[in-house]
């Protein structure tokens, strides 16, 4: 049977409260009994000392055996002390034979003999103390304290014992137990109500999160969990909401991604089908077939580049690419990319500015950086008007090198700048439709720069220019330098 968090928490709390209350009760009873016992011993010790002093001052013990009136006087004094202190007093001679007893004469204790071991303990400095029947002389249990009385020579002349019934302890313990049970019951009741309240307060957000998770499982990513307070459960709810928001974004991105893929694949395939159908049904004359076959070839090339870009993105995002970073001059990649696009640059009459190589070392994968520069330059050539310019600049600041590529043209709107690195994004309003663009090149640049340990961003003045900037580290990170030193 599955147990809820509420029931488990309440059961655990109840068990802890009961056990702790029981342990506290036992400790309290133990301490109270010890205090009660010590208090009785102290009181009986005082009674014994007063009685011994009174007997020795008024009537030496040897006269009690001979003088009836002296024995009566001493017994009356002992009874008076016993009544005022609620104790029984017993007086013996040096041999331990009972001479006087203040209460319960029916027990015929006069003439009885006290055990020799008790007499020996009574001679100790601390005296005799027990909770018992004084060696069988009493019918029930008593607190008893005994001390020796000595004559002028220091010899034992007799013994005084003071006793109090132990039944008072039972009454006291019973009263204490009743009070403890009542107070513990009220405490447990209040604690149970508080535990139920706290449990519901703790588990309600968890139940909400569980319900939201079930809705996520059914495909509803719009649900959110209310956040109350700032405790761990509230933080869990915040984390859950962030996860839900990310899942919703990912789901939306996936749907958009699939739609964009379908659109990007359908457009060239529709063109290819139209051209081929036109050649098959004779719509396109024979003398134009070569021209349209060239268009088909361009569309096939576009499909190939699109699929390759998608494969590259999948590998990069899956972490399958192994970065082979090393220190080299960034201008090697810049000049290499410019020379590879020389024909396009000349055809469009684009002016290249800032191409003045000055050795600037960076620590990165040369192939990755080349791909970033190629994609940015390719993008710039697409949207630079004929007779425009493309300007390169490299600056070193701190431990990073910043590479900037600016091109003249319509630029990018301020509202579109945050999205230019997203997959399949095209700002048709400012840059126009371009059949050769798939919207993946800049997204690949973002991933490649991230793998190289830098960042990339775009700047623009609408109607004037657009500039892409990315940074690269100047040297290897400390841990990488230590590894290379160790290898050497």
Q: CATH number, domain at 166?
A: 3.30.450.20
CATH number of domain containing 252: 1.10.287.130
- Range of weakest confidence among 136-150, 192-206, 407-421: 192-206
Instruction: Mark out the alpha helices in 318-440 (DSSP H runs).
Output: 330-340, 342-348, 366-383, 428-431
Tokens for 392, please give them: 């390169």
Same domain, 290 and 365: no
| pLDDT score of 473 | 93
Domain count, the chain: 3
Q: Where does a domain end: 285, 317, 349?
A: 317
Range of the domain at 50: 5-171
Distance (Å) of CA 375 to CA 333, 379, 380, 430, 464: 12, 6, 9, 19, 21
Q: What is the rounded average pLDDT for all residues in the chain?
A: 80
* Span 314-339, average pLDDT: 82
> Using an 8 Å Cβ cutoff, are 390 and 407 in contact?
yes
Crossing angle of the two packed helices 441-451 and 366-383, in degrees rounded to 10? 150
* Span 16-21, average pLDDT: 82
Tokens for 55, please give them: 């007997």
Confidence of residue 309 (pLDDT cuts 50, 70, 90): low
Residue 486 in this model has a pLDDT that exceeds 70: no
- Residue 222: inside a domain, yes or no? no
Distance (Å) of CA 287 to CA 281, 282, 294: 14, 11, 13
- Residue 57: inside a domain, yes or no? yes
- Range of weakest confidence among 35-39, 62-66, 314-318: 62-66
pTM of model > 0.75: no
* Span 359-383, average pLDDT: 90
* Three-state DSSP class for residue 231: coil
404: left (phi over 0), alpha (psi -120 to 50) or beta: beta
Q: Where does a domain end: 151, 171, 191?
A: 171
Q: Where does a domain end: 281, 296, 317?
A: 317
Same domain, 280 and 369: no
- Residue 392: inside a domain, yes or no? yes
Chain centroid to CA 131:
56
Identify which has the larger pLDDT, 228 or 3.
228
Tokens for 12, please give them: 């655990």
Q: Give the span between the Cα atoms of 487 and 333, in whole angstroms.
A: 28
Same domain, 67 and 96: yes
| pLDDT score of 280 | 87
Same domain, 117 and 146: yes
- Residue 204: inside a domain, yes or no? no
* Span 337-352, average pLDDT: 90
Same domain, 257 and 337: no
> Using an 8 Å Cβ cutoff, are 164 and 87 in contact?
yes
CATH number of domain containing 442: 3.30.565.10
Same domain, 78 and 115: yes
Same domain, 255 and 352: no
Confidence of residue 468 (pLDDT cuts 50, 70, 90): very high
| pLDDT score of 38 | 84
Same domain, 387 and 483: yes
* Span 460-487, average pLDDT: 78
* Span 438-461, average pLDDT: 85
Confidence of residue 350 (pLDDT cuts 50, 70, 90): very high
Residue 19 in this model has a pLDDT that exceeds 80: yes
- 212-262 pLDDT, tens per residue? 878 877 777 778 877 777 777 778 788 878 888 877 777 776 676 666 667
- 173-212 pLDDT, tens per residue? 777 778 878 888 888 888 878 877 877 777 777 777 778 8
- Residue 115: inside a domain, yes or no? yes
Same domain, 62 and 111: yes
Same domain, 345 and 400: yes
- Residue 178: inside a domain, yes or no? no
- 150-181 pLDDT, tens per residue? 877 778 888 999 988 887 777 777 777 788 78
Q: Which of 15-24, 224-233, 242-251, 349-358 has the highest mean pLDDT?
A: 349-358
- Residue 195: inside a domain, yes or no? no
Cα Rg, the chain, nearest whole Å? 52
Tokens for 352, please give them: 């290249």
| pLDDT score of 283 | 85
| pLDDT score of 435 | 42
Burial class (CB in 10 A: 0-12, 13-18, 19+), 431: buried
- Range of weakest confidence among 259-263, 265-269, 431-435: 431-435
Residue 301 in this model has a pLDDT that exceeds 50: yes
Same domain, 159 and 55: yes
Same domain, 352 and 313: no
| pLDDT score of 412 | 87
| pLDDT score of 107 | 52
- Residue 225: inside a domain, yes or no? no
């Amino acid at each position: 049977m599955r147990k809820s968090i509420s029931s488990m928490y309440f059961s655990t709390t109840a068990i802890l409260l009961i056990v702790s209350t029981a342990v506290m009760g036992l400790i309290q009873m133990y301490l109270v009994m010890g205090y009660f016992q010590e208090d009785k011993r102290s009181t009986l010790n005082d009674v014994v000392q007063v009685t011994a002093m009174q007997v020795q001052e008024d009537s030496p013990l040897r006269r009690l055996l001979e003088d009836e009136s002296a024995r009566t006087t001493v017994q009356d004094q002992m009874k008076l002390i016993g009544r005022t202190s609620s104790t029984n007093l017993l007086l013996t001679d040096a041999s331990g034979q009972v001479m006087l007893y203040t209460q319960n004469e029916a027990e015929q204790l006069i003439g009885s003999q006290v055990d020799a071991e008790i007499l020996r303990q009574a001679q100790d400095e601390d005296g005799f103390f027990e909770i018992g029947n004084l060696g069988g002389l009493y019918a029930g249990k008593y607190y008893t304290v005994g001390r020796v009385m000595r004559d002028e020579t220091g010899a034992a002349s007799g013994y005084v014992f003071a006793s109090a019934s132990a039944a008072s302890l039972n009454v006291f313990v019973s009263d204490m137990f009743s009070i403890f049970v009542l107070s513990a019951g009220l405490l447990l009741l209040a604690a149970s109500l508080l535990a139920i309240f706290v449990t519901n307060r703790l588990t309600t957000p968890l139940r909400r999160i569980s319900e939201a998770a079930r809705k996520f499982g059914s495909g509803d990513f719009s649900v959110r969990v209310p956040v109350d307070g700032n405790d761990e459960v509230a933080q869990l709810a915040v984390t859950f909401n962030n996860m839900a928001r990310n899942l919703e974004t990912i789901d939306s991105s996936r749907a958009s991604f699939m739609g964009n893929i379908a659109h990007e694949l359908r457009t060239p395939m529709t063109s290819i089908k139209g051209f081929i159908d036109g050649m098959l049904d004779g719509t396109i004359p024979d003398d134009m077939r070569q021209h349209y076959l060239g268009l088909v070839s361009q569309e096939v090339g576009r499909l190939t580049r699109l699929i390759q870009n998608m494969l590259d993105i999948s590998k990069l995002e899956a972490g399958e690419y192994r970065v082979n970073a090393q220190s080299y001059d960034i201008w090697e990649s810049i000049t290499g990319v410019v020379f590879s696009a020389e024909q396009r640059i000349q055809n469009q009459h684009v002016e290249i500015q800032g191409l003045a190589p000055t050795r600037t070392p960076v620590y990165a994968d040369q192939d990755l950086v080349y791909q970033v520069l190629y994609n940015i330059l390719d993008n710039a050539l697409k949207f630079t008007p004929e007779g425009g310019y493309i300007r390169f600049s490299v600056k070193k600041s701190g431990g990073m090198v910043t590479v900037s590529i600016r091109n003249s043209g319509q630029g990018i709107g301020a509202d579109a700048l945050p999205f230019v690195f997203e997959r399949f994004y095209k700002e048709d309003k400012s840059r126009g439709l371009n059949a050769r663009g798939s919207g993946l090149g800049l997204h690949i640049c973002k991933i490649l720069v991230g793998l190289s340990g830098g960042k990339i961003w775009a700047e623009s003045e609408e109607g004037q220019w657009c500039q892409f900037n990315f940074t690269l580290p100047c040297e290897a990170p400390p841990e990488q330098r230590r590894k290379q030193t160790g290898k050497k």
